[in-house]
Structure 1
Amino acid sequence: MDLALISHFAGALFAIMNPLGNLPVYINAVAGERLGAQRYLALFLSVFIAVALLVFFWSGSGLLHFFGVSLPAFRIAGGILLLLTGIGMVRGQDGKRVEQLAEKVTEESDLEAAEHRFRNLLIPVGVPLFVGPGSIGTVILFAGQASNPTERLGMSAVILGMCLLTFILLLASERIGKLLGPMGLEIAARLMGLILAAIGVQFMLAGLGDVTTGWIDPAALD
């Protein structure tokens, strides 16, 4: 087993998933939700991330090809979603939408509330924030570098470990939210919205660069 390859994969996956950097988005999205529902949401999102990344890891680019979707097209679509989400966060629209959703599920159980909110958070929090073109491209790329089943199993364990870490961070989101306070969360959400919008534009430029065969060089934009 090539431990260096697996360690490089772990570092790359952590950097591209960026669970710490994405935490303000999740905190803003679940603001006002009951603690029990937040725990279910953290579990649902973590399981979804694990399943999605493992599917792409083991199936490779063939799955995208089966649906006739190229990775550049996925980058552009993901970039548009992130851009729209970022603009909404900067303008404070997401906070109003979250309050409206919280009012609708007040009478539901924690599990029902979590299921209701999960359907609204799957996009864009699950996709493309955690499971996006970057993370999908990373798992597909490293899967192709694995020379034997043992290395593939080791990388699968890395994916599960990364999702467990994400789950722990999401569980701690309430404490982090209390630490920051309402004003801190508002500031963090708007700043993260600006960053998300920039990341979305970067994704779109990278996808356009691939589609136009080098007319736009993503490396020159760093």
Structure 2
Amino acid sequence: MGIKLFGEVFLTLLVITDPPGMMPIFLALTGPLSARDRNRAAWQAVALALGVIVVFAVAGQTLLAYLHVSLPALQAAGGLLLVLVALELLTGKADDPEQQSSTANIALVPLGTPLLAGPGAIVATMLFVQRSTGLVDYLQIGAAIVAVMVAVWLVLRFSGVIVKILRPGGIEVLTRIAGLLLAAIAVQLIADAIGSFVTAYLNAR
């Protein structure tokens, strides 16, 4: 059961975090940075995502209940954050040195959250924890989360090779594409949240 649970959690979170899909967004946000700062942003984002997912796995239900925040609300908030970042990428403000955020800020939002540790990863982890029945299951879930974050870090860490191939012109094109992808992800998050709100309202009547 343990190995099966590990595989289930690992594959689920790997699909949700989507490391290959994260790469163009990561390169768009960190393209103007040096290789050293880009690598720092990668591990900071992964470390933050790991921390957020673990916190919600351990105390997610209690935390949300205490704050009177529903999962759809969390999802909508993540969508709104991504809209702001997508607009910056699409309008070119992310390329402006005067508009550039620090490496830590880029790693915090939107890389660490809500892209890596987004509503999907948080909800999936909370559901796996709820289904668990003992220490062995918890250890398997924890190991799977760490394994996924290591896989994400490896993809982001070695994305610098692509930067050398694309050059500044290619990075600019990639930035616009990443902005469009982020905007689509944001709209989908908000639409799903609205659907959940409507469903909850209809069921309550």
User: Which runs of structure 2 are paired with 1:55-74 in the superposition (5 Å)?
Assistant: 55-74=55-74
Cα deviations across residues 104-157 of structure 1 (Å, max 9, x unaligned)? 9xxxxxxxxxxx421244112221111111111111111112222111111101
State the Cα distance separating 1:160 from its structure 2 match.
0.7
Tell me the TM-score normalized by structure 2: 0.89
Does residue 88 (structure 1) correspond to residue 123 (structure 2)? The answer is no
Does residue 205 (structure 1) correspond to residue 184 (structure 2)? The answer is no
In structure 2, how many angstroms separate the alpha carbons of the residues matched to 1:39 and 1:174? Answer: 8
Residues 48 and 126 in structure 1, CA contact (< 8 A), matched pair in contact too: yes
Partner of 1:41: 41
In structure 2, how many angstroms separate the alpha carbons of the residues matched to 1:202 and 1:11? Answer: 22
User: Which runs of structure 2 are paired with 1:1-222 in the superposition (5 Å)?
Assistant: 1-96=1-96, 99-100=97-98, 116-213=102-199
SS of the residue corresponding to residue 125 of structure 2 reads helix
SS of the residue corresponding to residue 143 of structure 1 reads helix
State the Cα distance separating 1:173 from its structure 2 match.
2.0
In structure 1, how many angstroms separate the alpha carbons of the residues matched to 2:36 and 2:178? Answer: 26
In structure 1, how many angstroms separate the alpha carbons of the residues matched to 2:160 and 2:39? Answer: 10
How large is the RMSD of aligned CA atoms in angstroms?
2.1
Q: For this pair of structures, how many residues does the alignment match?
A: 202
Which amino acid in the other structure matches residue 146 of structure 2?
L
Larger helix share, 1 or 2: 2
Cα deviations across residues 72-113 of structure 1 (Å, max 9, x unaligned)? 0011111111122222212222122xx2366x9xxxxxxxxx
Stretches of structure 2 lacking an aligned partner (at least 5 in a row): none
Cα deviations across residues 30-51 of structure 1 (Å, max 9, x unaligned)? 2232222222222222211111
In structure 1, how many angstroms separate the alpha carbons of the residues matched to 2:175 and 2:200? Answer: 34
Which amino acid in the other structure matches residue 168 of structure 1?
L
In structure 1, how many angstroms separate the alpha carbons of the residues matched to 2:80 and 2:172? Answer: 23
SS of the residue corresponding to residue 199 of structure 2 reads coil
State the Cα distance separating 1:204 from its structure 2 match.
0.7
State the Cα distance separating 1:5 from its structure 2 match.
2.8
